[in-house]
Structure 1
Amino acid sequence: MTPKIEKIVIKYITQSATVSDLDTLSEWIKTPANKIAFKDYIQSHYAIIHSMNNPDTKKALEQLLLRIKKEKTLVYRLRRQPIYKYAAAAVVVGIMVSAYLFKNNLSDIPVESTPVIVDTNTIVPGTDKATLTLGDGTVVALEKGSTYQTQNANSNGEEIIYKAGNKKTNEIVYNYLTIPRGGEFHMVMADGTEVWLNSESQLKYPVSFIDGVTREVQLVYGEAYFDVSPSTNHKGAKFKVLNQSQEIEVLGTAFNIKAYKDETNIYTTLVEGKVVVNSGTSKQYLVPNQQSNFDLKNNSITVYKVDVNTEISWKDGIFSFKGKPLKDIMKVISRWYDVDIIFENKDLESIKFKGYLDKNQSIDQILLIMKSNTINNYEIIDKTIILK
C-alpha cells in the first residue's frame, strides 16, 4: 500500500474523504492484490483480539468494501449538489469501526454505566489560532475571521505568509509565533519554508534571512512539521532548527519535531531528505522513515524506523495512535481540546490502543469510542475529564 493510498484509507475511516479520494480508493480496491492489502491493513490497525479467520471479522471487512462501493455511487448521484451535501457520504462503517477503532490489546469487557457529563459546551475541538509577537514586543492575535498585514507579512487568520525581502539586509529581526492549547497554525517563512505548528507550541524565526548565511529558527517548545526550502535556492545556505539541547541541520527536506515542555524526550522524524541531529555530544544521521529519540535525562540519542504517516498525521487533521498508552494519548487530547485529564483509575494509564480519530470530532464522540472498549466510565466537569 503506497503512502497516498494509506492516507486515503485513513481519511475514509475518519470521515474526511473527498469525492476524488473515493474514486481513487474504489478503483484501487478492484485489484485482487490491493483488496488483500486493504484487509491486511485494517487487521493490523484496527483488529481486536479476534483473528482474521473469525467469521464476524471477515463479514465486517466485506461490508466495508461493499459500503465503499455504495458510497461512491451515492457520491456520483450528488455530484451536482454543493460539496457539503455529499461530503457526508464518506461515512465510516459504523459497526465495524466501533469494533476496531481504539481497541486495546487486552480483552477486558467494560462495565456498562452512564457517563456523567455536567457541561461540554466549553469543550470544543481546536482551531486555527496563534499569537504573533513582533520584534518590538507588540503582540497580535491571529485567528479565524481576522486579518493582519504588514510590509513583510500577511495573515488571513488561518495562516501567516512572509514575503521574501526585495533588498539585502545584514540585520535579523525575530518574531515569535505562539500556538495555545486548542490551536494550530500554518506559516510560510520568507525563504519559502513551510511550517505547521501543533497545539501548545512556540517558534522563534527571522522575518527575513541574509543571503548565503545559514538560516536558523528555534522551536522553543511544542511540535512542528517543516517542509524546508532547499539550500540550492538560497546560495547554498543551510537550514537549522534549534531546540533545547539539540540542533537539527538540513539541506532541503521534510521532517517533524516533537519537543513539549512536559516531556523529557525530543522526537525528530524524517519524512524525506536528510538531517543531522546533534546533541553536542552525539551526532545521528537520519534517513527517511527514521526517528531519533533524544533522552534529555541521560543526554542520549537512539534511532529507529517508524511509520511516518502515523507520526505526522496530526497536521492533516487526524489523530493516529499505534500501540500508544492511554496516558500519552490523553496528553494529545488535552492539548487539542484544552482540557485537563485526571486518571481516577491509574490502571488505565498503561493500556495501549491503536487507531485513528478525526480531530474535528466532539470530545464526547472520542470518549464514547474509548468507553465502548476499555474505559469503564468517565465524568466531565467544566473542562476536566475524569477517567474511571
Structure 2
Amino acid sequence: MNIKQAKKLFTKYINDECSIEEIQLLEAFLDSYQDKNNIWTELKMGKENVFKIESWSRIESQINKAQKKKGNLFRPYLKYVAAAVLIGILATSYFIRDKFVNNDIENTTPTIVNTNIIVPGTDKATLTLEDGSQVALGKGSSFQTQNASSNGEEIIYEVAKQNAKEVVYNYLTIPRGGQFFVKLSDGTKVWLNSESQLKFPVSFIDGETRNVELVYGEAYFDVSSSSEHKGSKFKVFNQSQEIEVFGTEFNIKAYKDETNVYTTLVEGKIEVNTSIDKQLLVPNQQSNVDVINNKLSVAVVDINTEISWKNGVFIFKEKPLKNIMKVISRWYDIDVVFVNKELEDIRFKGVLGKDQNIEEILSAIKTLSIIKDYKIKDKTIILK
C-alpha cells in the first residue's frame, strides 16, 4: 500500500466506511512511521479536532519526516502495507545487543547468484478431479467443468441443480510459492496458503454433514451457516483433530513439517476434538494440538497477527528468526540455511508485504544488525 492508497483508506475511516481488515492495514501502515504522540493515535482516541480530512496533511508530513530520518532502509517499502520490514527488534535480546549492535559490523557485499529466480508467491494451484486427472490453475489461465469454473485466481463450485446421491471429492493442492481461493458448492469460502492441500466434495448431500479435510498446510474458512442447508453440520478434519463448526470464520495451520496444529477462531463458535480431548473456542482464542502427545491447550491470541497472510501481509510479533524464515521460505519457495545457529532464536517484530523483493527483506535484516551477512545462490539463502 502506498501513501495515496493509505489516504483513501483514511478517508473511508473517518466516514466509518472501513472494514475491520482495512482498519488493520491502515493502522499497520501508519504505526510504522509514527510515535505515540501522533495524529493517528489521537484519531483512534476519538478526539474531535482530528476528525477532518485535513488531518491527513499532518499525518503525511509526519511520514515524510520519518522517511528522511530513517533513511533509505524504509523507502523501498512504501508500496507495501507497512513502511518497514522486521522493525522493532526486542531491545532485551542479549544476542543482538552484545554480539551485533555493540560490535563493529564488517562492511561486506552479499554474494548473490542468479537471484532472479526468487520471486514472491502468486495465485496458483493444482486441481485433482474425481477421475484422478490434474489441472494446473494460475493467473492467465481459465478452466471450467459442469460443476466449477476458474479464472486462474480462484475456483468457484456451483450449487448442484439436483441433490447429489453420493459424495465425489476433488483436491486442491497449493505449492510452495502459491496461494488460492475456493468457494465450495455450499457457499463456504476457503483461502489456502502456500504448501497446502484441501480435500472437498464437488457437491454436498443435502441434509447430511458437510465434511472437508485440510490434508496439510494452512487455510482460512468462512463457513456457510447450517441454517441455509437444512441444519447440516460442517466439519473440518486433519490428521490430528476434528473441528465441528457452527457458522463461523477461523484459521487452521497444520503444516507437515511442524509438530503443532493451531486453530484460531475469528467469529462464531467451533469445537476442537482430538482422540483424547475436546475444547469449545470463542473468538480470539487459539487451540494448540501437540501432534506428538496429542495434548490440547487453548490461549488468547492477536487475531490480526494470525490471519494477516490472508490480507496480503505477514505480521510478526516477537517471533524467532527461524520461524519467520520458515514463513518466508514457503512464500518465496526457497531454502534457508543458518550458518550461525544462534541467529535462529533472535526475536523481533514487524510487518512484511507479500509482494516484496527478497533482497529488500534480507538487506533490511542486515542493516538492522540482525545478521552480519547473507548469500543467495539459486534458490537457497544462507544467513551468517
Q: C-alpha offsets along residues 20-63 of structure 1, whole Å, 9 cap, x if unaligned?
A: 313245789xxxxxxxxx79x94xx899xxx979xxxxxxxxxx
Determine if contact 1:131/1:139 at 8 Å carries over to the other structure: yes
Q: Shift in Å at residue 297 of structure 1?
A: 1.1
Q: Quick one: which of 332, 335, 350 aligns to 1:355? A: 350
The answer to whether 1:236 aligns with 2:231 is yes
Q: Shift in Å at residue 174 of structure 1?
A: 0.1
In structure 2, relative to structure 1, the CA distance for the partners of 1:16 and 1:134 (3 Å cut) is farther
In structure 2, relative to structure 1, the CA distance for the partners of 1:116 and 1:146 (3 Å cut) is same
Determine if contact 2:240/2:289 at 8 Å carries over to the other structure: no
The answer to whether 1:208 aligns with 2:208 is no
Q: C-alpha offsets along residues 247-276 of structure 1, whole Å, 9 cap, x if unaligned?
A: 000010000000000000000000000000
Cα distance in 1 between the residues matched to 2:330 and 2:110: 22
Name the % identity: 59
The answer to whether 1:338 aligns with 2:333 is yes
In structure 2, relative to structure 1, the CA distance for the partners of 1:353 and 1:26 (3 Å cut) is farther
Determine if contact 1:247/1:278 at 8 Å carries over to the other structure: yes
Q: Quick one: which of 112, 134, 138 aligns to 1:117? A: 112
Determine if contact 1:276/1:283 at 8 Å carries over to the other structure: yes
Partner of 1:78: none
Q: Partner amino acid for 1:23?
A: T
Cα distance in 2 between the residues matched to 1:201 and 1:216: 17
Structure 2 alignment gaps of length 5 or more: 17-26, 38-54, 64-76
The answer to whether 1:101 aligns with 2:97 is no
Partner of 1:258: 253
Determine if contact 1:46/1:102 at 8 Å carries over to the other structure: no
In structure 2, relative to structure 1, the CA distance for the partners of 1:356 and 1:246 (3 Å cut) is same
Partner of 1:22: 10
Q: Partner amino acid for 1:340?
A: D
Q: C-alpha offsets along residues 327-378 of structure 1, whole Å, 9 cap, x if unaligned?
A: 0111100000000000001110000111111000000111111111211110
Partner of 2:150: 155
Cα distance in 2 between the residues matched to 1:20 and 1:180: 34
Cα distance in 1 between the residues matched to 2:352 and 2:299: 25
Give the root-mean-square deviation of aligned CA atoms: 2.9
What pairs up with 1:247-286 in 2 under 5 angstroms? 247-286=242-281
Q: C-alpha offsets along residues 166-213 of structure 1, whole Å, 9 cap, x if unaligned?
A: 101221100000000000000100000000000000000000001110
Cα distance in 1 between the residues matched to 2:177 and 2:88: 22
Cα distance in 2 between the residues matched to 1:360 and 1:279: 37
Partner of 1:375: 371
Cα distance in 1 between the residues matched to 2:358 and 2:109: 16
Q: Shift in Å at residue 113 of structure 1?
A: 2.6
Pick which of 15-24 and 138-147 moved more.
Answer: 15-24
Cα distance in 1 between the residues matched to 2:178 and 2:58: 34
Determine if contact 2:244/2:270 at 8 Å carries over to the other structure: yes
The answer to whether 1:167 aligns with 2:162 is yes
Cα distance in 2 between the residues matched to 1:270 and 1:177: 23
Determine if contact 1:241/1:249 at 8 Å carries over to the other structure: yes
TM-score using structure 2 length:
0.80
In structure 2, relative to structure 1, the CA distance for the partners of 1:155 and 1:241 (3 Å cut) is same
Determine if contact 2:82/2:353 at 8 Å carries over to the other structure: no
Partner of 1:318: 313
Q: Shift in Å at residue 117 of structure 1?
A: 1.1
Determine if contact 2:82/2:351 at 8 Å carries over to the other structure: no
Q: Secondary structure at the match of 1:199?
A: coil
Structure 1 alignment gaps of length 5 or more: 1-10, 29-37, 54-63, 73-87
Q: Shift in Å at residue 89 of structure 1?
A: 7.9
Partner of 2:141: 146
Cα distance in 2 between the residues matched to 1:331 and 1:46: 27
Cα distance in 2 between the residues matched to 1:92 and 1:181: 22
Cα distance in 1 between the residues matched to 2:15 and 2:249: 30
In structure 2, relative to structure 1, the CA distance for the partners of 1:117 and 1:274 (3 Å cut) is same
In structure 2, relative to structure 1, the CA distance for the partners of 1:102 and 1:158 (3 Å cut) is farther
Cα distance in 2 between the residues matched to 1:65 and 1:164: 46
Cα distance in 1 between the residues matched to 2:238 and 2:33: 35
Q: Partner amino acid for 1:101?
A: I
Q: Partner amino acid for 2:383?
A: L
In structure 2, relative to structure 1, the CA distance for the partners of 1:93 and 1:277 (3 Å cut) is closer
Q: Partner amino acid for 1:182?
A: G
Cα distance in 1 between the residues matched to 2:117 and 2:56: 38
In structure 2, relative to structure 1, the CA distance for the partners of 1:65 and 1:378 (3 Å cut) is farther
Cα distance in 1 between the residues matched to 2:233 and 2:130: 24
Q: Shift in Å at residue 119 of structure 1?
A: 1.8
Q: Secondary structure at the match of 1:121?
A: helix
What pairs up with 1:81-100 in 2 under 5 angstroms? 97=84
Determine if contact 1:117/1:379 at 8 Å carries over to the other structure: yes
Q: Shift in Å at residue 17 of structure 1?
A: 3.8
Determine if contact 1:218/1:242 at 8 Å carries over to the other structure: yes
Partner of 1:77: none
The answer to whether 1:289 aligns with 2:275 is no
The answer to whether 1:179 aligns with 2:174 is yes
Cα distance in 1 between the residues matched to 2:309 and 2:362: 18
